[in-house]
Structure 1
Amino acid sequence: MDYLQAFILAVIEGLTEFLPVSSTGHMVIASSFMGIGHDDFVKLFEVAIQLGAILAVVVLYWKKFFDFSKWQFYVKLIIAVIPALFFGFLLNDFIDNTLGNPIFIAVVLLLGGIVLLFIDKFFKNPQIEKESDISNLSAFKIGCFQVLAVVFPGLSRSAATIIGGMQQKLTRHAAAEFSFFLAVPTMCAATGYKLLKGYELLNAENIKLLLFGNVVAFIVAIIAIKSFIGFLSKHGFRIFGWYRIVLGIVLLGLYFAGVEMNVM
């Protein structure tokens, strides 16, 4: 991997981590077309640069994350992250295998897009507008939705948790914000686990690439988060649904046309 390829993947991560389109799916597809998807460090890089995007959440919502007087906020995040940690560890080998299958990701993108076309009609009359009104049980249920994204790469962690929030009567705005909050412990755990497993890949040059990628992802994510909240509140999910459907169809078309997508 060179710095241009690292830049491309980091921009994709920053743009898509908090959108309901699957950052993992986009990075896997991009690395595949760049011919670097089979490289073990690239797979590590795609997970580790999520730290930059996560830091963007902490910076933008720093008052929330560092108000230690409201300990219930941290309890809800711990409760919500437990299902993903459990199943992520339990099904780690299955997840790694599906990450190496662009066609699997394309199908999940397509099916997830169809769901997003109709999701706004499913959950009407939301009642919860802020995080403080979310119960511990609702937080756990939202965390269970997140498991779907952990098990099925391409589904989108953001989409799964926002939909989970709306199912628990959160407004789109409140559901999106809680999804951002939940990303912090989830992605920190995933990144830490990946770095521990792949520590032998962390030579001086690769560490520089990781630092570079995280800085780029952080900057892009700041912009993406600010834009997404307002857009989602006004327009809903349909445009993201159509985007996923088109992307899934294009990827399947390329596969059946014989275009090689080298990830394994």
Structure 2
Amino acid sequence: MDWFYAIVYGIVEGITEFLPISSTGHLILAGNLMGVPWPKEVKDTFEVVIQGGAILAVLAYYWRDFLKIRHIGSDRGQQRLWLGVVVACIPAVVLGLLFGDVIKANLFRPSVVAWALIVGGVIMWLVESRRATPKVHDIETIGVGRSLLIGAVQCLALLWPGFSRSASSILGGMVLGLDRPTATKFSFYLGVPTLGGAALLDFIKSREILGQIGIVNVVLGAAVSFVVAYLAIGWLLRFVSTNNFKGFAVYRVVVGALILLLIATGVMTNGSLA
């Protein structure tokens, strides 16, 4: 059944990594509902690897845009964009290095994730209901100040597992005046160094565990994650061009409530996931 678990994990990761609905919450739910028998350290390492597949999907989807970095020496727009991305990563890097292990040990449990989904859904609904007319419509004009604030808001996902990195960065961008497509695209860009760095660090720490999974299952899960994430990115960009995020807000509340129900009925344990 390992190949089946790899495929399902890859699908869940690919769909949820860049949508504002928390990949952490959905991977927890999927793993519990399937009764995956893998040891915890194997699950953790496998999830890091397939997250790498989702990151590669961003690079593949925007490959033409990423090639423009070759002209960063003379292109002021590229300079502003990548300076903003780098600055936006700083809060998460600092917070992760200082408190990452403590947060995982004390907050990484299903009930915390469930409430993060619910509260994040409510905030998403409120942001959509009360936001002003967007002022920023181009990813190259976000600016360093806004980028830093978006990066700070992104830390909600680290401080509160289940809040969702994409949700926090997209909502932060919208509150700061970005339109939905621009906030969403910047969230994709920001995910490359943020998620890529975290994935590489965890891989270096735990690479020997991959042997317990089997190379075929590792490649299968990462490949499925890559393909599904690529499709999800394109779908989300088309969706936000004509729709708001209220549907995602409702969905988050429903999933969070489902996790709490499974905990209350004993179907899911509420032990630490770290």
Deviation at 1:259, TM superposition (A): 1.8
- State the partner residue of 1:54: 55
CA distance in 1, matches of 2:66, 2:130: 31
CA distance in 2, matches of 1:19, 1:66: 25
- State the partner residue of 1:17: 17
Tell me, which stretches of 5 or more residues in structure 1 are unaligned?
A: none
Q: Deviations over 1:12-50 (max 9, x none)?
A: 010011111001221122113333375211111112211
Q: Measured at CA, do residues 234 and 101 of structure 1 come closer, stay the same or move farther in structure 2, by a change above 3 Å?
A: same
- State the partner residue of 2:256: 248
Superposition pairs of residues 108-127 of structure 1, within 5 angstroms? 108-127=116-135
- State the partner residue of 1:69: 71
Amino acid at match of 1:10: G
Q: Deviations over 1:62-96 (max 9, x none)?
A: 12111121341322211111111111121222332
Amino acid at match of 1:14: G
Q: Measured at CA, do residues 148 and 34 of structure 1 come closer, stay the same or move farther in structure 2, by a change above 3 Å?
A: same
The answer to whether the 8 Å contact 2:154/2:169 transfers is yes
Superposition pairs of residues 64-103 of structure 1, within 5 angstroms? 64-67=65-68, 68-70=70-72, 71-72=78-79, 73-97=81-105, 100-103=108-111
CA distance in 1, matches of 2:194, 2:19: 16
Amino acid at match of 1:69: H
Deviation at 1:197, TM superposition (A): 1.6
SS at match of 1:255: helix
2:245 pairs with 228, 237, 240, which one? 237
SS at match of 1:20: coil
Amino acid at match of 1:7: I
Deviation at 1:110, TM superposition (A): 1.1
The answer to whether the 8 Å contact 2:137/2:182 transfers is yes
Deviation at 1:183, TM superposition (A): 0.4
Give the RMSD, CA atoms, in angstroms: 1.8
2:186 pairs with 154, 178, 184, which one? 178
SS at match of 2:18: coil
CA distance in 1, matches of 2:248, 2:106: 23
CA distance in 2, matches of 1:117, 1:76: 27
Identity %: 37
- State the partner residue of 2:146: 138
Amino acid at match of 2:236: F
SS at match of 2:155: helix
Q: Deviations over 1:100-143 (max 9, x none)?
A: 41111111111111111221123221111111111111111111
The answer to whether the 8 Å contact 2:45/2:207 transfers is no
CA distance in 2, matches of 1:207, 1:90: 33
Superposition pairs of residues 215-234 of structure 1, within 5 angstroms? 215-234=223-242
TM-score scaled to structure 2, two decimals? 0.90
The answer to whether the 8 Å contact 2:105/2:272 transfers is no
Tell me, which stretches of 5 or more residues in structure 2 are unaligned?
A: 73-77
Q: Choose 97-106 or 110-119, whichever is displaced more.
A: 97-106
The answer to whether the 8 Å contact 1:7/1:213 transfers is yes
